[in-house]
Structure formats: C-alpha cells, structure tokens
Amino acid sequence: MQSAQNLSVEELTTFLMMLLNNSPMLIAAVVGAIIAMVMWQRAPRAALLTLIACSIQLLSSLINTWIYGWYMPHAMHAEDQSHTAIQLMIGVWGLCNSLMHVIMMALLIWAVFSGRPKPTRRPPALP
C-alpha cells in the first residue's frame, strides 16, 4: 500500500511540475484568446483566427502536459505497456503536436494580414 501511495504522489508531483513548466505557454494562450475576444468588434476575422490559434495552442499544451506529466510516468510503471508501444505513442503525438503548431502558426500569419486595406500607392523598394 505504501509503494502505491508513493507512486501516486510521484505521479502528481511530475504532473504538477510539467504543468508549471508549460504555464508560460498556457498563460500566453489564455491572454491571447482574451485579447482576441476584446478586439472582436474592431477586427472580427483577425480575432477569430487568433482565437482559434490560441485555442489550438492551449489544447496542445494541455495534452502535452498530460502525456509527459501523467501518461508517461504511469505507463512506465504499468506492466501491460511495452516500451515499443510507449515509443510509438510518443512518436505519433510528436507528429500531431507538430502539425498543430504548423496550423497555429499559419492561422496567426493569416490573422496578421487579414482585413488589411490595399495600398493606394507602391511601397518603397527594399534596400
């Protein structure tokens, strides 16, 4: 009983440390979503794209925290999980996480340039 209780305390500690490590990105995603909602009337398309991008970042950070803060320690102590299965799951998550970040960056870039008026004259040449 003592080892099971220590294991859960260790798992909780690992999870909380991962949550603390990801807190800057979690805070940035929440603040970005709040700013997008505040700016909705001024620039609705840019605000919507930013809100979606921040939601993707928040989801990605929370899933990342769960995988590395709870699932990995739990799976390593479970006897029914092979190392190959754990490595496969981590590889699949890594690919999905990268794709989520690509989508998020594309949405943010689109948000920056959406709703901009067309220039009335040519911009100066770059040096």
Question: Which residue, 67, 73, 68, 61, is CA-closest to 6?
Answer: 73
Please list the helix, strand and coil fractions of the chain in percent, rounded to the nearest 5, in that order.
Answer: 80, 0, 20
Q: For residue 56, give both structure tokens.
A: 């993707």
Tens-digit pLDDT profile for residues 104-115:
999 999 999 988
11 or 69, which is more confident: 69
pTM, 2 dp: 0.78
38 or 3, which is more confident: 38
Task: Say if residue 8's pLDDT is above 80.
Answer: no
Task: Say if residue 96's pLDDT is above 70.
Answer: yes
Q: For residue 50, give both structure tokens.
A: 């930013």
Tens-digit pLDDT profile for residues 21-62:
888 999 999 999 999 999 999 999 999 999 999 999 999 999
